Amino acid sequence: MKSSFSSDARGAQREIITACDSQLISFKADTDMWTAWHYHPEIDILLTLKNTGYHITGDYMGELRPGTLILNGSNVPHAFHPNEPDEGDPENPAMLVLQFSRESLGEGFLSKLEMARIRKFLDSTDRSFEFFGRTRSEVDRLMHEMVSQNDTQRFTHFILILDTLASSPEPDRQPLVSPIYAPSLNEANVDKIDRIKNWIVSRLEGSIRLEELAAEANMSPKSFSRFFKKNTGKALIPYVNELRVSLACRQLIQSESSISEICYASGFNNLSNFNRRFREVKGVSPRELRARYREPGGGRLPTG
């Protein structure tokens, strides 16, 4: 492992990627997923290998499944929550991870004529992206080939990956983070949001009250609401609804439970509210999402 986490006295998470101090890029097969809410100046290219679940990237929440390909921009906080227990098996990694920065590549290198398209693409990565279609398939192939390559061969593939992403057609590329998202990267705030997020996730199937969360954070409800929106980009209720919809998506895809059963198991208190909130987030009804996912070839899931 060529990275670590720095912590203040309360455990704030900022990943330190030392490999990018001496290398152009860092490539690794990670045996687990990073459930801690964390950030780093380096750009990530992340390919999920085996897990289903959900990820939170800035103010966006989305599903994870094998083959999910995400580029996470510099200093965009993120976390991954797999459904399956982490076995930490080195023979069966959870993710392939590429990490780099403009500084590790060097502005002199990026300023060359041959890098113009890639440089323009990197300028847009503060939004973070998920990739689909042929773009996703090609990068999947290149990243898998990197596992058995030497450092020089990996860098060659890395340039091909950046060119593939930079050239991706619009249907293959979905921005994740909203244009107005601007997180506070104060380490104590990141730590507090991580603890709040975990508290919410552990109680998704029951009631979640603003007053309880504010007390957990040692803040007044009004101060907590301002703090939460500033650091996540979302108000509490829409944030909780999106997490509950993600939980419902998982059950719709992986179980044979009825829509009504999934509604209550996801923390919604009535079916009409569940259908309304689900459509707000996903753009389709729960029944439509289940049918689409079970079409031959799976296909791209709708997103909010």
What are the residue boundaries of the structural domains of the chain, listed by start?
A: 3-175, 203-293
> Taking 60 as the threshold, does the pLDDT of residue 263 lie above it?
yes
Residue type, 263: C
User: How far is 192 from 37, CA to CA, in rounded Å?
Assistant: 10
* Fold classified for 3-175: Jelly Rolls (2.60.120)
Query: Strand 26-30 relative to strand 53-57: parallel, antiparallel, unpaired?
Result: unpaired
Query: Given this model, what pLDDT does residue 115 score?
Result: 94
- Reference 54, options 208, 245, 276; nearest CA is 245
- Reference 103, options 127, 122, 117; nearest CA is 122
Query: Given this model, what pLDDT does residue 145 score?
Result: 97
Which has more pLDDT, 11 or 263? 263
Give, in degrees to the nearest 5, the angle at Cα 13 between 248 and 1: 95
The CATH number that domain 203-293 falls under is 1.10.10.60
Query: Given this model, what pLDDT does residue 8 score?
Result: 34
Q: Which pair of structure tokens corresponds to residue 191?
A: 């730590």
The arithmetic mean of pLDDT across residues 138-154, rounded, is 95
Residue type, 226: R
Query: Given this model, what pLDDT does residue 180 score?
Result: 67
Q: At 33, is the pLDDT very low, low, confident or very high (cuts 50, 70, 90)?
A: confident
User: How far is 54 from 187, CA to CA, in rounded Å?
Assistant: 24
CA-only gyration radius of the chain, Å? 20
